[in-house]
Structure 1
């Protein structure tokens, strides 16, 4: 088998989650989607924005990154 510079790509199969949110969070997400559309002149459904919002949050949480690294799951 040849050795490639590019490592094998990780599993990118989406996993569907179903969540319930309180009305105030739902309103905030609707507002975020509206502001996003104004900022980028492109509407995105809330269900498309939520994974990006969660990823951004987790990527910016240094305490989480350190704890995850201690678990051996850091990047």
Structure 2
């Protein structure tokens, strides 16, 4: 069984976003959706629905971003007090 970074995609209220993807990235997104569907048993009808969880996962696991965010929050707290 392949270990993917994404799990099942929650059925959430959609928000319309317009983005232009390179064709190669779109092909990869479609392929990822196919693999994810096989792994979870939940077909992904619209591969674009993977973009949000992928971005959330990317941001959530970016240690540099987390560190910068904590530093900014600490700096803000210091200036408020």
Please say whether Structure 1 and Structure 2 have the same fold, judged by a TM-score greater than 0.5: yes
Aligned pairs (5 A) from 1:50-61:
50-61=51-62
Q: Report runs of 4+ in structure 1 exceeding 4 Å deviation.
A: none
Q: Give TM-score scaled by structure 1 length.
A: 0.70
Give the aligned length.
Answer: 61
> Which whole-Å CA distance do the structure 2 matches of 1:60 and 1:34 have between them?
24
Higher relative contact order (CA 8 A, sep 6+): 2
TM-align CA RMSD? 2.2
Aligned in 2, Cα 1:68/1:47: closer, same or farther, shift over 3 Å?
same
Residue segments in structure 1 that go unaligned for 5+ positions in a row: 1-12
Aligned in 2, Cα 1:32/1:65: closer, same or farther, shift over 3 Å?
same
In the other structure, the counterpart of 1:46 is 47
Residue segments in structure 2 that go unaligned for 5+ positions in a row: 1-12, 74-81
Secondary structure of the residue aligned to 2:43 is coil
Q: CA deviation at 1:71?
A: 2.3
> Which whole-Å CA distance do the structure 2 matches of 1:70 and 1:16 have between them?
32
Aligned pairs (5 A) from 1:9-48:
16-44=16-44, 45-48=46-49
